[in-house]
Chains A and B, each alone.
Chain A
Amino acid sequence: MSELIRIENLHVAVGDKELLHGISLTVNKGETHVIMGVNGAGKSTLLHAIMGNPAYTVTSGKIYFEGQDITELSVDKRARLGIFLSFQSPVSVAGITMENFIRTAKTTVSGRQQRLFPFKRLMKQRLSDLSMDPSYAERYLNDGFSGGERKKSEILQMRILDPVLAMLDETDSGLDVDAVRIVSKNISEFHNENNALLLITHLNQILRFIQPDKVHILMNGQIVQTGGPELVEEIETHGFDSYRTAEGM
């Protein structure tokens, strides 16, 4: 499997406060990585740093995507390379419909004009895949959506934009049991040997449907353990206590 993203000794800060203290991680195409950890461990910070959120400053370290150094690249350029982040709390944007927004985004990231009727068909199909009413296409982006609907909207965007690296930040939180199953099915259908998934989750529901290749435990801004799917079972049984003790937390 070829390397998709490589993170080398990444240090990230907000203002004077360093939040990540030397993260190194490699994700290959076709893989699914899960990041677990207590609240405030730095999981979301890591995903936002990969996405290029200007609120976070990379103080040292490098991020390589398909061999290219993207550490200094702007958010939109990273997105156009095929990096996608499903937000934990997606913002709403009244004034632009879901369909118009996603069509504009698809045109931008693919570099190809999206013809109206084929795009409408694709949109309708993907909404159906997520058990969403077709009328959502005409609603303003995430405007008036419930928490669960916003999470589905993120997965809808992921499926249509078809990124190479999809990072999902607690996509399963706020979803009911049926919605977790539907969203998980969509993630599974999206995933193939040419792309990779990087998931943050506190719940194990989604991992009943998606088999991780690697699981990383993040504590206090550092990866303290990496293992296989068995780590999920261990965390579910024992929690993070042993890692807290080791970290002196």
Chain B
Amino acid sequence: MEKILINRLPMLTYRHLHTNETEIAFPQQAKTADAVFSSLALVRPGGSLPDTFQGASRETREAAAAGPACRIDIPDGTEQELTITVALKEDRPDYAGVFLFRLGKKARLNLTWKWTGTGKPGRCCTASSYEVGEEAVLRVSKIQTGMENTFLCDQRECRIAGGGQADFVSAELGGGDTIVHSRGELDGDHSVMKESLCYAGTGRQRLDLFYHITHHGKESESLIDVRGSLAGQSRKIFRGTIDFKRGCSGAEGTEGDYAVQLDPGAKNISLPLLLCTEDNVVGNHASSAGQLDREKMYYLMSRGLSPEEARRIAVESLVRPVIDRLEPSLQEEALQDIRTKLNHKGE
């Protein structure tokens, strides 16, 4: 199986730390499933990724680009809802595709992604480009479950004009290797981009999460909020960068990565990074990793809850701020999946 390097840090650190990028086995693609759209009225076939689109690596970008491409245009001042389902099947365990979204001025799009599938080994690579116009609002909710032997790579880049907003909320619960590569360009003044993600790693799951939000516009805002638990031999690496460019005065960016390690074999690496060439900005970053809060566990168990129940509640309380921001119809499914995974945490 080919080995590739993904999610390279924008500013490199010591090589001996082995965190600048991740080397990962990249499986071959076989038979691809189809993406299913809740409404075809908005979808036009064709189009190609912008030349500037980077993706997790050249290989993953090209893999996505080898699949079908489609355009979704939301005209000025209109509001639309769309659900895209990628369901991998036993006989078609792979997927590749390109999605090009454009929201006109003051347009709104509520977009739901559902990725699901069986335990058959496979590969799923997507590349999505979002252009959010002036004062447009993009809300994206994604749930990803099952597919415990699948290589998943979700690559997205988002460019936001003045007053525009993009809010990505994801529950990355399934997958064998789950790669997220997200870039945001806050071009316009008062533009906003939020990235929230929760996960519950079990068994030998591996999550490789990369975010890079660049502030250009004045008083622009960004948030990166990643939360979850790691059990068994699962691993997660977080690379989060907020980049304040000269001229983005008054901008504010916050990033946080919060992980609880439920087993000694679980591993977490967190690399929050703030880059800045503008004086008048506020940048916050935080990360925490460790075992469950003993005081909280004691309190919950003092009410009769078993260690397993107390752990479930403590993990749920950690990820709940992200779950609550998912599209309501996805919230219960995400919670149930987390509960199921915690009940079989080492597997």
Residues of chain A having any CB pair with chain B under 8 Å: 51, 53-55, 74-76, 79-80, 84-85, 87, 90-91, 93-96, 101-102, 104-105, 108-109, 140, 157, 161
| A102 and chain B: residue at smallest CB distance | B303
Separation of A148 and B309 alpha carbons in the complex (Å): 28
Separation of A87 and B296 alpha carbons in the complex (Å): 12
Additional A-B contact list (4), CB under 8 Å, known A96-B313, A104-B309, A109-B303: A76-B306, A93-B299, A96-B316, A161-B304
Separation of A96 and B304 alpha carbons in the complex (Å): 16
* A93 near B303: Cβ-Cβ < 8 Å: no
For residue A79, which residues in chain B have a CB less than 8 angstroms away from its CB?
Answer: 301-304
Separation of A94 and B302 alpha carbons in the complex (Å): 17
* B300 near A93: Cβ-Cβ < 8 Å: yes
Out of A85, A101, A104, name the residue touching B302 (CB < 8 Å): A85
* A157 near B303: Cβ-Cβ < 8 Å: yes
Out of A85, A87, A105, A157, name the residue touching B305 (CB < 8 Å): A105
Separation of A104 and B309 alpha carbons in the complex (Å): 9
Separation of A109 and B304 alpha carbons in the complex (Å): 6
* B305 near A91: Cβ-Cβ < 8 Å: no
Separation of A51 and B301 alpha carbons in the complex (Å): 10
| A80 and chain B: residue at smallest CB distance | B304
Separation of A76 and B306 alpha carbons in the complex (Å): 6
Please classify how large the interface on chain B is, using the bins under 10, 10 to 19, 20 to 34, 35 or more. Answer: 20 to 34
For residue B306, which residues in chain A have a CB less than 8 angstroms away from its CB?
Answer: 76, 108
Stretch at the interface among B3-11, B229-237, B276-284, B318-326: B318-326
Shortest distance from the beta carbon of A47 to any chain B beta carbon, whole Å: 11
| Residue among B303, B304, B320 facing the most chain A CB atoms (10 A cut-off) | B304
For residue B298, which residues in chain A have a CB less than 8 angstroms away from its CB?
Answer: 53-55, 75
For residue A96, which residues in chain B have a CB less than 8 angstroms away from its CB?
Answer: 313, 316-317, 320
Out of B293, B301, B320, B321, name the residue touching A74 (CB < 8 Å): B301
For residue A87, which residues in chain B have a CB less than 8 angstroms away from its CB?
Answer: 299, 302
| B295 and chain A: residue at smallest CB distance | A91
Separation of A54 and B294 alpha carbons in the complex (Å): 9
| Residue among A76, A102, A104, A108 facing the most chain B CB atoms (10 A cut-off) | A76
* B304 near A91: Cβ-Cβ < 8 Å: no
| A89 and chain B: residue at smallest CB distance | B295
* B320 near A94: Cβ-Cβ < 8 Å: yes
* A55 near B294: Cβ-Cβ < 8 Å: yes
* A76 near B304: Cβ-Cβ < 8 Å: yes
For residue A140, which residues in chain B have a CB less than 8 angstroms away from its CB?
Answer: 317, 320
Separation of A91 and B313 alpha carbons in the complex (Å): 13
* A108 near B320: Cβ-Cβ < 8 Å: no
* B305 near A93: Cβ-Cβ < 8 Å: no
* A90 near B320: Cβ-Cβ < 8 Å: no
For residue B317, which residues in chain A have a CB less than 8 angstroms away from its CB?
Answer: 93-96, 140
